[in-house]
Amino acid sequence: MSTDTATTKSKIKFTLGKVPPPARYFLHPVIMLRAYKPENFRGDLTAGVTVGVILLPQAIAFALIAGLPPQMGLYAAIVGAVLGGLWGSSNHLHTGPTNTASLLVFSVLSPLFLVGSPEYITAAGLMALMVGLFRLGVGVARLGILANFVSDSVIVGFTAGAGVLIAVGQLPNLFRVSPEAGSNVFTNLWYLVQALPLSHFPSLILGVAAIVILILLKRYRPKLPAPLVVMVVGAGAVALLGLDANGVKIIGDLPRSLPPLTALPLFDLALIGQLSSGALALGAIGLVEAASIARSIAVRSGQRLDSNQEFVGQGLASIGAAFFAGYPLSGSFNRSAVNYEAGAHTPVASIVSGVFTLLAMLLLGPAAAYIPKAALAAVLVVIAYGMIDQKEMVRIWHSSRQDAAIMLTTLMATLLLPLQFAVMTGILMSLANYILQTSTPQVVSVLPTDDFKHFLHQPEKPPCPQLGIITVVGDLYFGAVNHVEELIRAHMERHPGQRFLLLRMQNVNRMDISGIHMLESVVRTYAEVGGEVYFMKVKGPIHQLMDATGFSAAVGDDHFLIEEESITHMFYRVLDPAVCIYECEVRAFKECQNLPKSTTPNQLPLHAHPHLPVRHVTPLELWQELHWGIGQPEVIDVREEREFIRGHIRQAQLIPMSRFDPAKLRLGKEKNIVLVCRSGRRSDRVAQALQQAGFNHVRTLTGGMVAWESSGLLEAIDPIVQAKS
């Protein structure tokens, strides 16, 4: 029997593992309940009951805000808590009626129907269905990543502002006063101060005592469910002392009926059209709110969220509320915070709160009716204070000006604007900051460290006169390429002698066609002054894009280098050795350290003009011309004497490049001249000078003496050779 059971569980686990993600979202209750640990039930039960006690009066009050009967709030609370817990991702997010959703429902429906009329109530249910379908579609389409654009700065600022709003909103219940309604939290607070002389003393004493008990229990008995204790004690005091007869406001009687199944006008296209814009706005705002709340608590609990699963849960909760006489739902800040503080471990706590609300509505109506609003207000005020994460606000304040500005702006927007606009304000600022940062990648010139093991930005060190090395940190997409190109051009203007550029691209993860166009422009700019651009550590996806667009073929495969060999390649195959030997005192690279430390004045300047084309001749072709051709070329070896005596072409004359002056060359301008050096780079520079001086038939030996020797053409020579000038 046990073997069969184990086999069955194995099959279930295997089957769930094969289910694609969209279907897995609907199987979440099975996965959650199978992984549930019995030891978590005590904390979930306590937290669920505690939240349920708060949910009861809130559901009634929020329904009245929405212009709906109280029972619709209770039905929405029961269904939302259960379905949101079963299909949601967060362990602590509590779904149900909220202040924001209720206000939005009222603002959308009141211009269309008489408040409280049957048409109004029916439209509220249909709106809940439309909101739920939108949220469900976002989750199934796996667009939960959009919630990642709510930055932590927005969450901290929004949470702090919401805490202030909740506290200020509950103070009238704490003092049992009815101040004039203001346009924002500051005017509300001012009107409250003016109304304080009218405070109800018994309610105030009861509320203050509840706050003191909450603080003491949290400090000395943190494992006890302090909010539940306070409400039970408060209800007992009211019942025993008859405080309700002395003016202490209580929750009052609750309706006693199960949530009924409701028929909705699913095919009333005219009504759907009227509600569509409001449903879309409420659906989107509710998702952002739910994501913000879930993430704010996850920061404290350490839970990793699945935004797609959470959106599916929000959608199904609203759809369920629509068919069971409810109205649109969302995540609640204060109930979620209570849920976390009361010790909830899993979403089962949310389910318990829904079940508790149902039982309380059916069985405990008379007893729950004695809960004083002042005690409830005290719980919410203490919870609201805990929502203001002072330590995190200080950290953000000291982290960066951008994050601090986003946090403060979101905080003030939450206090001054409607809540939905406050959230959108923070999100838009986060997006703007993200776009600003990604559109301005770091473009930093670097040099090797003293041990030649790393490249760092060292502005105090003189750079290599021939080679600029730039590290790009960021993506090269359409929004960033202008910034990158401007900085590269600015570097080029500061160092006009650097004809070669090495771009270190190991920190470039993405690039689009605009990035290709920018690199092509940089390559053309360097080519105009006879230079070249090389690339180091280009990542695979970037290289694939370069190949697909023909960029790699245009610049040549030999222009893509690996880090370990990049400087060695540039030093031995690209840089002008004449500059390294005669003109440079920097010795920036490890390869430069064996060069002579003294410099010799050079007759040939670097070329700042467009690179003139130079013709070449292969070693075999030159050998044939020297031995069999008519009108043998004049071979000029521009290497140093110590190089020359190790081996040279027998017919060559030696004129070291350091002493080469085209004006003193005793050859006709039509003379066929072939220039020779070790690898060809010095020959190219001298050829440029000769062509500028008017010599029309100048060629260089391809590959220099290295290629000549590799071809087996080097002949035995007299070790003492007289150089001609």
34-45 pLDDT, tens digit each: 889 999 999 999
Note down the domain range covering 528. Answer: 442-592
Please check whether residues 117 and 261 belong to one and the same domain.
yes
pLDDT, position 16: 52
**pLDDT of residue 724 exceeding 70:** no
pLDDT for the residue numbered 427: 77
Establish if 512 belongs to a structural domain.
yes
Is residue 423 one of the residues assigned to a domain?
no
Name the least confident of 66-80, 271-285, 296-310, 571-585: 571-585
Q: Which of 210, 279, 196, 274 is nearest to 243 (CA)?
A: 210
Helix axes 373-387, 226-241, angle to 10 degrees: 160
Are both 122 and 211 inside the same structural domain?
yes
Q: Are residues 315 and 351 in the same domain?
A: yes
pLDDT of residue 609: 45
> Distance (Å, rounded) from C-alpha 390 to C-alpha 622?
81
H or E segment at 653? strand 653-654
> What pLDDT does 7 receive?
42
pLDDT at 725 over 50: no
Q: Look at residue 17 and tell me if it is in a domain.
A: no
Has residue 329 got a pLDDT over 90?
yes
Q: Which helix H or strand E contains 246, and what residues bound it? A: none
| Whole-structure pTM value | 0.64
pLDDT > 70 fraction of the chain, expressed in percent and rounded: 90
- 287-296, 513-522, 606-615, 716-725 — which one is most confidently predicted on average? 513-522
Sheet containing strand 615-617, edge to edge, reads 615-617, 698-701, 673-676, 634-637, 653-654
Residue 608 confidence (pLDDT) = 41
Question: How far, in Å, CA of 547 to CA of 196, rounded?
Answer: 75
Per-residue pLDDT, averaged over 224-242, amounts to 82
Residue 414 lies in a domain: no
pLDDT of res. 322: 95
Q: How many CB atoms lie within 10 A of CB 595?
A: 15
pLDDT at 13: 44
Residue type, position 489, single letter: R
Do 334 and 244 lie in one domain? The reply is yes
- What does the alpha-carbon distance between residue 213 and residue 215 come to, in Å, rounded to a whole number? 5
Distance between CA atoms of 169 and 61, rounded to whole angstroms?
13
Question: According to the model, what pLDDT value does residue 195 have?
Answer: 79
Query: What's the confidence (pLDDT) of residue 17?
Result: 53
Predicted confidence at residue 596, as pLDDT, reads 61
Distance (Å, whole) CA 214 – CA 236: 16
Average pLDDT for 273-295: 83
CATH (domain of 686): 3.40.250.10
Distance CA 233, CA 239 (A): 10
pLDDT at 78 over 60: yes
Query: Span 180-184, mean pLDDT?
Result: 68
300 belongs to a structural domain = yes
Helix %, strand %, coil % for the chain, to 5? 60, 10, 30
Q: How confident is the model at residue 480 (pLDDT cuts 50, 70, 90)?
A: very high
Residues 634, 587 within the same domain = no
Domain closes at, from 560, 592, 624: 592
Element (H, E) at 473: strand 467-473
User: Could you tell me whether strands 94-96 and 330-332 are parallel, antiparallel, or unpaired per DSSP bridges?
Assistant: antiparallel
> What is the sign of the dihedral through the CA atoms of 215, 366, 166 and 173?
negative
pLDDT band at 81 (very low <50, low <70, confident <90, very high): very high
Residues 584 and 683 in one domain: no
Instruction: Provide the pLDDT for residue 183.
Output: 66
Question: pLDDT at residue 616 above 50?
Answer: yes
Alpha-helix residue ranges (DSSP H) falling in 176-255: 185-195, 201-220, 226-241
337 and 260 inside one domain: yes
**Residue 481: band (very low, low, confident or very high) from pLDDT cuts 50, 70, 90:** very high
Q: Please classify residue 535 by burial: count the beta carbons closer than 10 Å to its beta carbon, then call 0-12 exposed, 13-18 middle and 19+ buried.
A: buried
Sheet holding 560-561, edge to edge: 442-445, 467-473, 500-507, 532-536, 560-561
Band of residue 369 on the pLDDT scale cut at 50, 70, 90: confident
Q: What is the 3-state secondary structure (H, E, C) of 693-712?
A: CCCCCEEEECCHHHHHHHCC
For the beta carbon of residue 192, count every other beta carbon within 10 angstroms.
20
Q: How far apart are CA 87 and CA 139, in angstroms?
A: 11
> In the numeric block, which tokens belong to residue 206?
């009861």
* Secondary structure of 479-532 in HEC code, one letter for each residue: CCHHHHHHHHHHHHHHCCCCCEEEEEEEECCCECHHHHHHHHHHHHHHHCCCCE
The residue ranking higher by pLDDT, 578 or 302, is 302
**Does one domain contain both 338 and 263?**
yes
- How far apart are alpha carbons 508 and 158 in whole angstroms? 34
Q: Are 714 and 674 in contact (CB under 8 A)?
A: no
Do 290 and 372 belong to one domain? yes
Q: Averaged over 644-648, what is the pLDDT?
A: 83
Look at residue 5 and tell me if it is in a domain.
no
Residue 600 scores a pLDDT above 60? no
pLDDT value at residue 3: 44
State the pLDDT confidence band at 192, using cuts at 50, 70 and 90: confident
CATH classification at residue 570: 3.30.750.24
668: in domain = yes
State both tokens at 106.
Answer: 């009222």
Q: Is 101 in a helix, a strand, or coil?
A: helix
Lowest mean pLDDT among 400-404, 486-490, 622-626, 642-646: 642-646
Considering the chain, what is the average pLDDT of its residues? 84
Number of domains in the chain: 3
* CA-closest candidate to residue 338, choices 108, 99, 87, 49: 49
pLDDT at 468 over 90: yes
Considering only residues 324 and 334, tell me which one the structure prediction assigns the higher pLDDT: 324
| Shared domain check, 631 and 492 | no
Pairing of strands 500-507, 532-536: parallel
Same domain, 370 and 497: no
Bigger pLDDT: 581 vs 461: 461
First-to-final CA distance of the chain: 104
Q: Are residues 145 and 249 in the same domain?
A: yes
pLDDT of residue 554: 94
Domain-located, residue 397 = no
pLDDT greater than 90 at residue 489: yes
Q: Name 615's bridge partners.
A: 699
pLDDT at 642 over 50: yes
Q: Are 237 and 206 in contact (CB under 8 A)?
A: yes
Buried b (16+ CB within 10 A) or exposed e, 478-499: eebbebbbebbeebbeebebbb
Taking 80 as the threshold, does the pLDDT of residue 11 lie above it?
A: no
> Tell me, what's the pLDDT at 720?
41
Round to whole Å and give the CA distance between 108 and 101.
Answer: 11
